[in-house]
């Protein structure tokens, strides 16, 4: 079969299996398999696929039909115009999180602060810390991650962009490794922690449920990690140091309360592309 025939058959197969974007996913998977841009598929509609290519593509579409996210099948995901290796040990980077990263990059660049010390808690794929390190050329960043499988992924992405000299990783539970070492010179603490509540977990799309449970579930009300992290944060932040966290769109008031209870000031809630509360930034009082 040629590319045109394969795409048509795959689109129909995905539709039967209730895949939201059947044509797009068919194209993305085939383009990845053939190592070409999606637009090139149309230029090469008559290209006959080899038996090995068809066999491999069949495995990819079977996985997608089980609602495994496309990025887990291809093994990579774009974030901040960078290509990140991913697998089922890590949460997939979201476009919404780019808003937070872009804000932080602009914040330090506008203030002409170059040699900043940054800590990311819950590093996962490393998308946040690698992006910050890539665009903030003199920042020194430590990623803290409790999952060994996720650490392997983030380590690979750090090496991919040659950032090993400034970006380091440590295995541990939230800020405990830094507190134990007496670290207190951090300019920025950033995190996209698990924040899905009991109620929200029940309604998650099947694809999202394929992502690591530990990177999604934030306790009964989705606030467990915020309570622990924000309580620990003043111990490692400099005076006037910043904390920046992603939140669930209904959690702004609760997270703001936790910040105030721990003496954070200049609290700012920022929205995502859907105009929903998505991030909170605050400064150590």
Q: What pLDDT score was predicted for residue 92?
A: 97
- 209: tokens are 């449920």
Cα 121 from Cα 108, distance rounded (Å): 19
Q: What pLDDT score was predicted for residue 96?
A: 94
Around Cβ 18, how many Cβ atoms within 10 Å?
10
Cα 283 from Cα 234, distance rounded (Å): 9
Task: Print pLDDT tens along the chain (285 aa).
Answer: 899 999 999 999 999 999 999 999 999 999 999 999 999 999 889 989 999 999 999 999 999 999 999 999 999 999 999 999 999 999 999 999 999 999 999 999 988 888 999 999 999 999 999 999 999 999 999 999 999 999 999 999 999 999 999 999 999 999 999 999 999 999 999 999 999 999 999 999 999 999 999 999 999 999 999 999 999 999 999 999 999 999 999 999 999 999 999 999 999 999 999 999 999 999 998
Cα 274 from Cα 48, distance rounded (Å): 42
Please check whether the domain covering 77-284 is classified as CATH 3.40.50.150.
yes
Residue 30 · residue 7 · CB < 8 Å:
yes
Give, in degrees to the nearest 5, the angle at Cα 15 between 12 and 18: 155
């Amino acid at each position: 079969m040629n590319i045109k025939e394969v795409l048509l058959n795959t689109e129909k197969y995905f539709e039967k299996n209730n895949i939201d974007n059947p044509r797009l996913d068919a194209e993305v998977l085939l383009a990845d398999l053939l190592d070409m841009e999606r637009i090139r598929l149309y230029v090469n509609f008559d290209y006959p696929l080899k038996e090995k290519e068809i066999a491999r593509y069949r495995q990819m579409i079977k996985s997608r039909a089980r609602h495994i996210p496309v990025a887990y099948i291809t093994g990579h995901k774009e974030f901040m115009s960078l290509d990140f290796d991913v697998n089922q040990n890590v949460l997939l980077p979201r476009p919404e999180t780019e808003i937070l990263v872009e804000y932080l990059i602009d914040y330090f660049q506008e203030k002409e602060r170059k040699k900043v010390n940054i800590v990311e808690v819950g590093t996962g794929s490393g998308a946040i810390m690698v992006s910050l390190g890539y665009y903030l050329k003199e920042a020194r960043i430590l990623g803290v991650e409790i999952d060994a499988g996720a650490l392997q992924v983030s380590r690979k992405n750090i090496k991919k962009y040659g950032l090993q000299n400034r970006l380091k990783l440590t295995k541990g539970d939230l800020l405990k490794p830094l507190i134990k070492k007496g670290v207190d010179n951090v300019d920025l603490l950033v995190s996209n922690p698990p924040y899905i509540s009991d109620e929200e977990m029940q309604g998650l799309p099947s694809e999202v449920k394929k992502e690591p449970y530990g990177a999604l579930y934030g306790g009964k009300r989705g606030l467990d990690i915020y309570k622990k992290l924000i309580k620990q944060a003043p111990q490692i932040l400099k005076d006037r140091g910043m904390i920046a966290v992603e939140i669930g769109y209904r959690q702004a008031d609760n997270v703001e309360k936790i910040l105030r209870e721990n003496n954070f000031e200049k609290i700012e809630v920022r929205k995502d592309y859907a105009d929903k509360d998505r991030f909170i930034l605050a400064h150590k009082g």
